[in-house]
């Protein structure tokens, strides 16, 4: 590929946001290693102002600051503020540079910017999950209002649409059946996330469960807490650590107090990215009750760290879970508890799944993801 000038858009970027921003950053670390690619990124910052950072000689990050209250949670007013403030810097970047392509993470709000300039410049949309109408309870009103008026327009004009899992592609096709959607999965840093050198012994110790993500209704953390309550009532020794912050923290702490589980379930809050590899290695099993995902970055990181997975069925699991975990079809505390109990009682099964988890994770690396996107860029430019 000849030298490609690429403009990338994302309304969230570390330390703001969740998996979509982390995936974008990981992709940029691959692009930074190439001498045939020049990248400008337009994204957000938690305080007002416009700043420019250099990730590498060929990658610059332009951050549009807004009045951000919480790094991990977007209020609707903040989304609209970013969209409003990003318009002028976006136009300036187009005026001052000659780009071959725009690549937007999230169809909305990010995709709306490049939709408005589609006659001048083709664009690719990476669908991430929340930007695809589905079961997210918090966004139902937005899906109804913006779906037909904005989402479909942005999708139809895109040079290419990409979903991060087959499950997300299926959801997107239920929304717009005529869409042509490619699947490029997430990746994981296999050097940073690796199994502990010696397996943790759980003999006479509680099994250490871990879940990572925003404290939101979609993650169904109340279901995990109820499952832990079932396990403890049945005599199973388990402890659950919850890594992440969000709007439901007060409600969840009240639930733990009501169930007298504050010594069993720890809401550990949001941790810095550099802390996460060691956190995974200190645990035995990764659990998830999420009702909706694109493809879970946290689950991939857990797998690369050698953790078996127990999860309720949702999108993005079919590519990740084979002999390295258990998928629970019925999202109920007792069935989830029963699946976890099989790993509490059977150490050999747990150890076999741990080995399989690492092998499965090795199929997902960011180098391959970057190459898939570069091939897509070549097709649409």
pLDDT of residue 316: 81
- 354 and 327 in a common domain: yes
Residue 141, domain extent: 4-187+365-380
Query: 297 is written with which tokens?
Result: 């970055």
Measured CA to CA in angstroms, residue 106 lies from 14, 21, 25, 83, 128 at distances of: 15, 10, 14, 13, 6
Q: What percent of the chain has pLDDT over 90?
A: 76
| Domain-located, residue 174 | yes
pLDDT of residue 129: 83
pLDDT of residue 143: 81
- 376 and 306 in a common domain: no
pLDDT of residue 43: 97
- 215 and 344 in a common domain: yes
Query: 101 is written with which tokens?
Result: 């392509």
Which residues in the chain come in under a pLDDT of 50? Answer: none
pLDDT of residue 246: 81
| Domain-located, residue 197 | no
| Domain-located, residue 251 | yes
pLDDT of residue 376: 97
pLDDT of residue 203: 64
pLDDT of residue 335: 95
pLDDT of residue 93: 97
Domain CATH for 278 = 3.40.50.2000
| Domain-located, residue 370 | yes
Return the residue matching tokens 């990746």. Answer: 187
Query: 372 is written with which tokens?
Result: 């898939």
* CA distance from start to end of the chain: 11
pLDDT of residue 71: 81
Contacts of 189 (CB under 8 A, 6+ apart): 26, 304, 366
Q: Strand, coil or helix: what is 140?
A: helix
**How many domains is the chain built from?**
2
- 269 and 242 in a common domain: yes
| pTM of this prediction exceeds 0.85 | yes
CA 129 – CA 369 distance, rounded (Å) = 18
pLDDT tens across 163-182, in order?
999 999 999 999 999 999 99
- 216 and 115 in a common domain: no
Q: Which helix (H) or strand (E) holds 147?
A: none
């Amino acid at each position: 590929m000849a030298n490609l000038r690429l403009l990338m858009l994302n309304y969230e970027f570390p330390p703001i946001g969740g998996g979509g921003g982390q995936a974008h950053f990981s992709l940029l670390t691959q692009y930074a290693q190439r001498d045939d690619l020049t990248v400008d990124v337009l994204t957000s910052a938690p305080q007002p102002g416009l700043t420019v950072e250099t990730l590498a000689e060929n990658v610059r990050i332009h951050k549009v600051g807004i009045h951000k209250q919480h790094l991990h949670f977007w209020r609707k007013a903040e989304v609209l503020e970013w969209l409003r403030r990003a318009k002028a810097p976006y136009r300036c970047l187009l005026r001052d540079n000659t780009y071959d392509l725009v690549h937007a993470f999230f169809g909305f709000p990010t995709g709306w910017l490049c939709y408005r300039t589609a006659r001048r410049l083709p664009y690719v949309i990476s669908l991430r999950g929340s930007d695809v109408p589905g079961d997210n309870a918090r966004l139902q009103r937005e899906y109804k209002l913006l779906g037909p008026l904005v989402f479909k327009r942005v999708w139809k004009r895109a040079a290419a649409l990409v979903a991060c899992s087959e499950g997300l592609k299926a959801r997107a096709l239920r929304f717009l059946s005529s869409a042509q959607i490619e699947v490029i999965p997430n990746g994981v840093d296999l050097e940073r996330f690796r199994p502990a050198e010696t397996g943790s012994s759980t003999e006479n110790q509680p099994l250490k469960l871990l879940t990572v993500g925003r404290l939101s209704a979609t993650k169904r953390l109340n279901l995990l807490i109820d499952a832990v309550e079932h396990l403890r009532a049945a005599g199973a020794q388990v402890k659950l650590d919850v890594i992440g912050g969000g709007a439901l923290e007060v409600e969840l702490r009240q639930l733990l107090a009501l169930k007298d589980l504050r010594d069993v379930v720890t809401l550990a809050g949001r941790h810095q990215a550099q802390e996460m590899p060691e956190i995974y290695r200190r645990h035995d099993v990764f659990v998830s009750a999420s009702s909706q995902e694109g493809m879970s970055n946290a689950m991939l990181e857990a797998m690369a760290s050698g953790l078996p997975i127990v999860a309720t069925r949702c999108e993005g699991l079919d590519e990740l879970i084979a002999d390295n975990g258990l998928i629970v079809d019925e999202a109920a505390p007792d069935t989830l508890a029963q699946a976890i109990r099989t790993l509490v009682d059977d150490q050999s099964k747990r150890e076999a799944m741990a080995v399989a988890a690492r092998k499965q994770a090795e199929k997902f690396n960011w180098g391959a993801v970057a190459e898939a996107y570069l091939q897509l860029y070549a097709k649409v430019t």
